[in-house]
Amino acid sequence: EIVLTQSPGTLSLSPGERATLSCRASQSVGRNFLAWYHHKPGQAPRLLIHTASIRATDIPDRFSGSGSGTDFTLIISRLEPEDFAVYYCQQYADSPLTFGGGTRVDIK
């Protein structure tokens, strides 16, 4: 199975700052089938990005994804209060689908 490693584990930033999150795969993710999700405790996770760089419906343009092969990045250009949450990457190219361990974005 494809193992996804996210870094850093925690990111402490202030509102308005830029967040850069990394996701590295143990082998190449076919067709760049890599997604990012936003998750706040007690809430439903939300799909942000799919196919490495395509924003899901109604996702604001401060979220952008990039990368290919084994290295992927999620950038939040200017953090809003609702962006402080845990972010997961997920590959959906190979069975079983797998998630990274998550990056927590905290308020500094």
Partner 1 sequence: EVQLVESGGGLVQPGGSLRLSCAASGFTFSSFWMNWVRQAPGKGLEWVAIVKQDGSVKSYVDSVKGRFTISRDNAKNSLYLEMNTLRAEDTAVYYCVGSTGWLLHYWGQGTLVTVSS
Report how many residues bind partner 1 under the rule CB under 8 A.
Answer: 24
CB of 70 to partner 1, least distance (A): 18
Assess 104 for contact with partner 1 (CB under 8 A). no
Pairing relation of β-strands 86-91 and 4-7? Answer: unpaired
CA torsion sign for 61, 45, 19, 30 is negative
CB atoms within 10 A of CB 92: 16
Our CB check for partner 1 shows the closer of 44 and 61 to be: 44
Residue found by looking up tokens 């609702």 in the block: 82
Per CB under 8 A, contacts with partner 1 among 16-75 are: 33, 35, 37, 39, 42-47, 50, 56
CA torsion sign for 73, 70, 9, 54 is positive
Tokens, residue 62: 């401060």
CB of 90 to partner 1, least distance (A): 7
CB of 15 to partner 1, least distance (A): 25
List contacts with partner 1 (CB under 8 A): 33, 35, 37, 39, 42-47, 50, 56, 88, 90, 92-93, 95-102
